[in-house]
Amino acid sequence: MNIRIITYPFFYLFWALILLIVSLFSSCGTQRMDKEARANIHLPVQPVEESKEKVRDMKLPSVIDMKDRFGNKTTYVQTEKDKDGNAQLSVQLKEVTVTAKMKNVPERFGKVDVDFIVSVPEELINSRWQLNLTPHLIKADNISDFEDLVISGDDFRKLQQKQYAEFDKYLSKIIPDSLFDEYFVRTGAFHHYIDRYNRSEFMRIRKDSLDHAGYSKYKARLNKRYEFFNGKMYRNRNWLKKQMNFLGIKEHYEYFGQDTVHIASVYNKRYNQIVNLLPMFHLLREFSPEYTLWKYRKDKYATGFINDYKPVTAADSVFLKKRFLKDRQIAKNQSLIDNKHIAFAEMVKFPKNEKARLDTVIYNKGKFEYYYRQQVMADEDSRRMKIYLDGFAQSISGDSHLLQHSDTLDYIVSSMIQFLDTTPRYMLKIIERKALSTLQANITFKTGKYNMDIDLGDNRSELDKVQDMLDKLTETGEFVMDSISLIAGCSPEGSYPSNMLLSKRRAESIGNYLSGGLSGIEGIAGMLKPYPKREDWQGLSRLVADSLDSENRQAILELIASESDPDRKELDIRSKYPADYKYIREKLYPYLRAVDFTFHVHRKGMIKDTIHTTEPDTVYARSMELMKKRRYADALQILHDYNDYNTAICLMSLGYDQAAYNILLNEPETANSEYLLAILASRLGKTQEAVTRYLHSVELDPTKRWRGTLDPEINRLIKAYNLNQEEDSDNENND
């Protein structure tokens, strides 16, 4: 069969026209991004006043918060036209600021509040776009980020919500752990198995109890029968005894004075022969498992009935569930969990910014502005801060465009440390002509010996400490060595007199060695003064209290304190507490053999015994450095001992206003102290006093009038009472 295809020219024309219309509509629907457009930031401003009276009476527009149909909150700032017809922001804030790229902000309680307006031009607002804006804070060379602002168009948000809905549908397929049994366990079969097991266990116990009951009845019946036959056997034995008439024969023999011992043994032998011969006289019947019925010979009947009923426990059920799991469904669910992040990346092309401060939707065209306020912790780099804005825009089609950097705003931070009194502080120092320094060295001697052996133990390094101390004292030339006394200690083993003699000889031996070993001091041999030291029982008590871990510790301490004879003390400890004595002798006694060196020196060229002088207070200077670095808490740890003007500044910087107020009341009157008292009075609610002290500070220092506009506590008073009216009038007259 032949098929003919007929084509007409207008057929191609029709489809070309359709494609042209579609491309036109699609190009109209997609707006290309203006690469020159950028989001910007600027400081909150107030329109220029035409007159002082107009400013006081006019009501400025405020920041407006609005919610869309999804509950998203959007902050709008109203604008108004200036005299040139340009739109400018007009916001009523706590402080009056001017249109500029620099602002003075106060530091309070170790924190600084910075605020600015984020302005997005109309060119960057489109229903198919999303803007991600990030403010950056610059302090010194460090850059930190504030929370982002996310501004989405209506169509972009709908697509984003659609993608999240698709991902939510994916998540809904994942079975949570709380529904594990419901979906992944063959519960019917599992419960049937548990019921069947519990029933079989119950039937086992029931059968076992019935078996033991039958066994008990059988045993009781058998024992009753045995009791009957055993009674009959004992009666047969009594009958046999009567028949053999042993008592009658015994009386007959006794009557004729014959020996009854032989007849008794013959009689007993004959009696036992008859008893052992006939079962009716010797067969004693007792219950024995080996002679019971076969079914009662099992081991369970030997121990009695034990109710060991074992139903399925929670732990057992967890183990048994593994036999009834739907492994294929579990593997599928686990695969969904493992691939969740991959599915999110595939389904959600435009994820939400979870850390954004603002994530809002714009439904209408027009300029968008947002009032941004952020609290920044003050530190040593907070004197001047900068803020700029950057970000990126992305469209539904997947295009992305980096936005140009905004203008940079400068914030000059005013703080209370600008009132610090940095005058160097001096402290009185008393210098004495004579001085001394001490050193302890652990010199080792052989037991009972006093000859100095430099190679024994750590003797060489210990005696090197003496030379090091000499060098430190004399190297600057400030001190001149007078004498060196060395006191050699001894441990309590041995008699008290011998220990004193040993201590004296050891001190002399060390002195003799040092007189030839020390260098750098002329006449060092004559300066060495060796002395003995008696047994140091107080030092031993401290060592025992600190180091001995024994239940006898308190008893040993009491023995040392109560016994006056030193030799008796050592003997009692050794005899009563031998184990503890071993530890004391090996570990603690060596500390008692230490040698104490005392270096006596005098200051070269000094005649008077004492000189009073001053020197810089380095500790106080350290607190000033901490204050300049805004480390107020650390500075207060130093300044609380001084309780002065700078302490008050530190206290008010931390919010301890009443304590700072009390200190400043006792300080001399200056422009700074009066101004600070005005701030504190304002904080404490003493408005009239604050006004009076501020005006007085201005009288003392006219620059405080300018400073008052920087501190919110004073600026509030200036506005409320028009305190700077006189200056404004002077400026108008000069104009």
Residues in the chain, total: 735
**Residue ranges for the chain with pLDDT beneath 70:** 1-36, 45-100, 252-253, 255-261, 429, 519-520, 611-613, 725-735
* Assigned fold of 426-611: 60s Ribosomal Protein L30; Chain: A; (3.30.1330)
Burial of 341 (0-12, 13-18, 19+ CB in 10 A): exposed
Q: What is the reported pLDDT for 458? A: 85
| Helix (H), strand (E) at residue 450 | none
What are the tens digits of pLDDT across the range 183-219? Answer: 888 888 888 888 888 899 889 888 888 988 988 898 8
Q: What is the reported pTM?
A: 0.55
Q: What is the reported pLDDT for 489? A: 82
Q: What is the reported pLDDT for 32? A: 59
- Beta bridge partners, 599, equal 437, 484
What are the tens digits of pLDDT across the range 586-601? Answer: 888 888 888 888 988 8
Domain 618-734: which CATH number of 1.10.600.10, 1.25.40.10, 1.20.1050.10, 1.10.10.60: 1.25.40.10
Give dist(CA 304, CA 289) in Å, integer: 13
Q: What is the reported pLDDT for 29? A: 45
Tell me if 606 sits within 8 A of 484, measured CB to CB: no
- Beta bridge partners, 134, equal 390
Give dist(CA 654, CA 645) in Å, integer: 15
> What does the DSSP assignment read for 81-95?
E-TTS-EEE----SS
Closest CA relative to residue 266, chosen from 240, 244, 242: 244
Q: How large is the angle between the packed helices 657-665 and 645-653, nearest 10 degrees? A: 160
Cα–Cα distance list, 424 to 131, 418, 614 (Å): 55, 16, 12
| Helix (H), strand (E) at residue 615 | strand 610-616
* Residue 454, token pair as written in the block: 């430099």
Closest CA relative to residue 493, chosen from 569, 557, 562, 594: 569
β-pair type (479-488, 528-532): parallel
Domains in the chain: boundaries:
40-173+354-414, 189-317, 426-611, 618-734
Tell me if 601 sits within 8 A of 434, measured CB to CB: yes
